[in-house]
Structure 1
Amino acid sequence: MRRALAWLSPATLAGRTVLALLGGLLVFHFGSVWLLERGVRDALEEAREIHVADHAAMAARAIGGLPKELREDAARALSTPAFEAVWGHSGPAEPMDEAALAPLRVRLQRRAPELAGLHLRLGLAPANDGPRRIQGAMRLADASWVSFAAEAPDLAPVPTHASLASLSAMALGIVLASILVVRWITTPLRRLAKAAEAFGKGAAAPVPLPEDGPREVRDAARTFNAMQARIHRLVADRTQALAAVSHDLRTPIQRLRLRAGFLDDTEAQQAIDADLDEMEGMVEATLAYLRGETESEEPRQADLAAILSTLCDDATDRGASATYAGPDRLPILLRPLAVKRALGNLVDNALKHGGGARVTLEEAPGAVTVRVEDDGPGIPEAALEAVFEPFHRLDASRNRGTGGTGLGLAIVRQVVTAHGGTVTVANRREGGLVAAVRLPRQHTSKLDDATNARGTPPRSVLPPAAGSA
């Protein structure tokens, strides 16, 4: 059935849209014509009933007011091809079908109330080749009868507001049909948008998009699949090159460290070791950012409060000032290692540049917020957004002399965005900086969709972090 519809439908999106609009307009047009025809027919039936009721009442009134010797001639004078009247001393010889014509009799009496006092009786005339006719009889005050025959109106009552109800039902049907057709047309576009969103969030492998639907959508899907393949190949080549560079750098770094150990000048030895540590840190941070560690870890339930408490305890053990305030336990679905690394970067920044870190965890409906505050010099307002850019460093206190590669906040935003959250930094009125991370609590489907879109997350093509070679 679906293939048959696809074969009958136009190949282009514009053609399908025109077909949907044309189909709806044609249905509405034919429905309107049908309603008009029905309305005209109902109006004719109503006019026919009025004609029969008025002529019957007029005949009874005119004939009943004349002497008996003039009544027969008066009845013939009042007769027309559409209404034949006859006067007689006795009632109709043929039986009248009162039950079948009772609704019609009620309507005729409603249109000419004086017929109710004339004991109106109705029946069907014998069938012939002409139009269907009814016959009736009315008893006058002197017990004589006026009989008549006329073209039969519709025996069924004319419904009130029939056209309005039919038009409303037809409009509703067109709306429902249009919604279904539009959904059918736009389904490939929605599928393309979801695939683009999943790929934009950093899918580890390209997910081929089905190349079906209208011609424009097929072309877009084909181009999108080619773009995915090119980008994935470019990233893989770049990552492989960086992996080779990092591996080659570790060997001379270790040789330099070994040679520095034979120096007699302790101060020079310590300076060289510090430079080598900085080089190793830069290589490791760069590779961690480019590797995208969030893509190689499965989401699971983890205690965010425990992660923050551990980070603060580790900082305290190193002699730094770090405090935690918040609930003792707060389980949430996330990628624990990636989140710990991101929050650890915020704590380290506060310790290095602010002299201490105050970490708070707050719960809200549908989300949790982590705040990391320090008492440092803060950041210029113009640079509050720029600090999230990779390799961006400030020239004042937040420079290479205090450590760092300019990737700490870039990694934070990368991890938080992958979890469907947001991260911002702002200067405090009291001085210092506050970094706020907001993570949604109900993002299970988003993480699952990202994982399912990639399939089983592959291992990174990069080698282990620096220091493990």
Structure 2
Amino acid sequence: MRRGIGWLSPSTLAGRTVLTLLAGLLAFHLGSVWLLERGVRDALAEARENHVADHAAMAARVVGSLPEEVREAAARVLSTPTFEAAWDRSPVAEPTDEAALAPLKARLVQHAPDLANVHLQLGLAAPRDGGPGRIRGAMRLADGSWVSFAASAPNLAPVPTDASLASHSAMARGIVLASIVVVRRITNPLRRLARAAEAFGKGASPVPLPESGPLEVREAARTFNAMQARIHRLVADRTQALAAVSHDLRSPIQRLRLRAGCLDDQEAQRAIDGDLDEMEGMIEATLAYLRGETESEEPRQADLATILATLVDDASDRGATATYAGPDRLPMRLRPVAIKRALANLVDNAVNHGDGARATLEERPESVTMRVEDDGPGIPERDLEAVFEPFHRLDAPRNRGTGGTGLGLAIARQVIDAHGGTVSLANRPGGGLVATVRLPRAPVAATQAPRAAEGAPA
């Protein structure tokens, strides 16, 4: 058995789940730290913008309210290490309102609306002694003089106020998607195991599962492989044993039939032949049911309407009352031989036990529905499900005297289940029984289908 390759790849499902959770938490923590740092930088950038906008508006307001002889001194008083202000009747260097600075100008005016009344102009200034970039601005006062300033350049790009929330959301979505991918890879072996168990339960031949994945999954796959091999071997041995018994029984049955033919009592001869026919029918039906668990038929395109209509015509040719209502053609992907056996059992049940059969076929976009109705005595409600069990026969009036072996409905359900459909019985309100079969229109899965013997009535 393959072991794990260390703490980076734990061998157990629990270890891999914990590792996935830890990886997600670590990614979220690192992302949160990065977002916090980014948020601090954005807050500082916004604070620098507010600082420049507030100082520029204050300088224009204060200097503009003073006499001209003290304005230059007042501008120097209002200067700080990060904001230099000056006053002159004309700007010392006329700033160029470059297009790149238009968003910054709009944000400064938004921070300090008074700047909209002083014809604010902005331009880039050369950095001082290799320091950070600077901007130069000029504001025209009411008397035509100018207050100019120079300050460290804030971020030219806008600072989104919801950047942290958006980044957290994007990071959380990324972590969720990554976790889903990782968890799906961890649980893929479990899904394969579930599909294999479902297919094997419908009669598929054993297909060994790859023993890969976490330790628990590898152990489950190994146990499942051993289990399906044992079950398949047991079924094969049982079928082989019954086939041998059936072969051995044919010889004494034929000898009894020959001896019965020598009897002078014709009535006794007919009774013995009837019993021998029933014995042969029971043997063939039993083998047919058992072969349904081990044999297969590949699905192919076939005409379901033709199959059902042909069965009804065959019943009519035998003298029974049988009718068909439905489309003339209904091509579907199915196993035609197995479906024909299943539907033949339902039609024969209606003919033998209900004095006739009325078969209908309805087509829908995703499924088809078939109904086989009769006018017989029906079935007690408590037995509507039990009659699908192998060798289950009802008392009179639907009894063994009509030729049933108790396997026809079991074979029908076995076939329909293998096609992914359903079959059910219900008593009609006006009397009689209706068998309803529903089959999906989707392609049949690659599972093994039963191959029941034709004409094995319930």
User: After TM superposition, is the score higher than 0.5?
Assistant: yes
Residue deviations 1:56-81 (CA, integer Å, cap 9, x gap):
33233333433444444434433333
For 1:338 and 1:314, the matched residues in 2 are separated by 17
Are the structure 2 counterparts of residues 85 and 226 from structure 1 closer, same or farther at C-alpha, using a change threshold of 3 Å?
A: same
Q: TM-score, normalization: structure 1?
A: 0.85
Contact 1:294–1:418 (CA<8 Å) still a contact in 2? no
Residue of structure 2 in register with 1:380 after alignment: 380
Residue of structure 1 in register with 2:83 after alignment: 83
SS in 2 for 1:361: strand
Instruction: Establish whether residue 27 from structure 1 lines up as the match of residue 27 from structure 2.
Output: yes
Residues 233-382 of structure 1 correspond to what in structure 2 (within 5 A)?
A: 233-292=233-292, 295-382=295-382
The runs of 5 or more residues in structure 2 that have no matched partner are: none
Residue of structure 2 in register with 1:183 after alignment: 184
Are the structure 2 counterparts of residues 155 and 255 from structure 1 closer, same or farther at C-alpha, using a change threshold of 3 Å?
A: same
For 1:171 and 1:329, the matched residues in 2 are separated by 54
SS in 1 for 2:118: helix
Stretch moving more, 76-85 or 182-191: 76-85
Residues 138-287 of structure 1 correspond to what in structure 2 (within 5 A)?
A: 138=139, 140=141, 145-159=146-160, 161-203=162-204, 205-287=205-287
Measured after TM superposition, the shift of residue 400 of structure 1 is 2.4
Contact 1:95–1:123 (CA<8 Å) still a contact in 2? no
SS in 2 for 1:280: helix
Residue of structure 1 in register with 2:447 after alignment: 450
Are the structure 2 counterparts of residues 153 and 359 from structure 1 closer, same or farther at C-alpha, using a change threshold of 3 Å?
A: closer
For 2:308 and 2:135, the matched residues in 1 are separated by 95
Are the structure 2 counterparts of residues 85 and 382 from structure 1 closer, same or farther at C-alpha, using a change threshold of 3 Å?
A: same
For 1:305 and 1:105, the matched residues in 2 are separated by 79
Are the structure 2 counterparts of residues 144 and 432 from structure 1 closer, same or farther at C-alpha, using a change threshold of 3 Å?
A: closer
Contact 2:419–2:444 (CA<8 Å) still a contact in 1? no
Matched-pair identity in %: 75
Are the structure 2 counterparts of residues 47 and 284 from structure 1 closer, same or farther at C-alpha, using a change threshold of 3 Å?
A: same
For 1:54 and 1:263, the matched residues in 2 are separated by 127
SS in 2 for 1:377: coil
Contact 1:89–1:144 (CA<8 Å) still a contact in 2? yes
Residue deviations 1:166-190 (CA, integer Å, cap 9, x gap):
3333233233323322322222222
Measured after TM superposition, the shift of residue 142 of structure 1 is 5.7
Measured after TM superposition, the shift of residue 279 of structure 1 is 0.8
Measured after TM superposition, the shift of residue 412 of structure 1 is 1.2
Measured after TM superposition, the shift of residue 350 of structure 1 is 2.2
Are the structure 2 counterparts of residues 143 and 237 from structure 1 closer, same or farther at C-alpha, using a change threshold of 3 Å?
A: same
Residue deviations 1:69-100 (CA, integer Å, cap 9, x gap):
444443443333343444456643x6756536
Are the structure 2 counterparts of residues 355 and 30 from structure 1 closer, same or farther at C-alpha, using a change threshold of 3 Å?
A: same
Contact 1:315–1:321 (CA<8 Å) still a contact in 2? yes
Residue deviations 1:216-238 (CA, integer Å, cap 9, x gap):
21111111111111111111111
Aligned residue type for 2:187: T
Are the structure 2 counterparts of residues 113 and 435 from structure 1 closer, same or farther at C-alpha, using a change threshold of 3 Å?
A: closer
Contact 1:390–1:410 (CA<8 Å) still a contact in 2? yes
RMSD of the alignment, in Å?
A: 3.2
Q: TM-score, normalization: structure 2?
A: 0.86
Are the structure 2 counterparts of residues 350 and 118 from structure 1 closer, same or farther at C-alpha, using a change threshold of 3 Å?
A: closer
Are the structure 2 counterparts of residues 366 and 134 from structure 1 closer, same or farther at C-alpha, using a change threshold of 3 Å?
A: closer
Are the structure 2 counterparts of residues 429 and 128 from structure 1 closer, same or farther at C-alpha, using a change threshold of 3 Å?
A: same
Residue of structure 2 in register with 1:403 after alignment: 403
Measured after TM superposition, the shift of residue 253 of structure 1 is 1.0
For 1:333 and 1:172, the matched residues in 2 are separated by 42
Are the structure 2 counterparts of residues 324 and 108 from structure 1 closer, same or farther at C-alpha, using a change threshold of 3 Å?
A: closer
Are the structure 2 counterparts of residues 112 and 310 from structure 1 closer, same or farther at C-alpha, using a change threshold of 3 Å?
A: closer
Aligned residue type for 2:173: L
Residues 116-135 of structure 1 correspond to what in structure 2 (within 5 A)?
A: 116-117=117-118, 120-128=121-129, 132-135=133-136
Residue deviations 1:157-215 (CA, integer Å, cap 9, x gap):
32453334333332332333233223222222221122112111111x31011111122
SS in 2 for 1:444: coil
Are the structure 2 counterparts of residues 413 and 107 from structure 1 closer, same or farther at C-alpha, using a change threshold of 3 Å?
A: closer
Contact 2:75–2:85 (CA<8 Å) still a contact in 1? yes
Residue of structure 2 in register with 1:13 after alignment: 13
Are the structure 2 counterparts of residues 103 and 401 from structure 1 closer, same or farther at C-alpha, using a change threshold of 3 Å?
A: closer
For 2:362 and 2:113, the matched residues in 1 are separated by 82
Aligned residue type for 2:174: G
Measured after TM superposition, the shift of residue 328 of structure 1 is 3.7
Aligned residue type for 2:262: F
For 1:77 and 1:85, the matched residues in 2 are separated by 8
Aligned residue type for 2:380: P
For 1:319 and 1:264, the matched residues in 2 are separated by 32
Contact 1:105–1:122 (CA<8 Å) still a contact in 2? no
Contact 1:346–1:372 (CA<8 Å) still a contact in 2? yes
Instruction: Count matched residues.
Output: 450
For 1:9 and 1:216, the matched residues in 2 are separated by 14
For 2:319 and 2:132, the matched residues in 1 are separated by 110
Runs of 4+ residues deviating >6 angstroms:
4-7
For 1:259 and 1:146, the matched residues in 2 are separated by 134
For 1:143 and 1:373, the matched residues in 2 are separated by 104
Contact 2:375–2:432 (CA<8 Å) still a contact in 1? yes
SS in 2 for 1:450: coil
For 1:343 and 1:301, the matched residues in 2 are separated by 17
Contact 1:420–1:443 (CA<8 Å) still a contact in 2? no
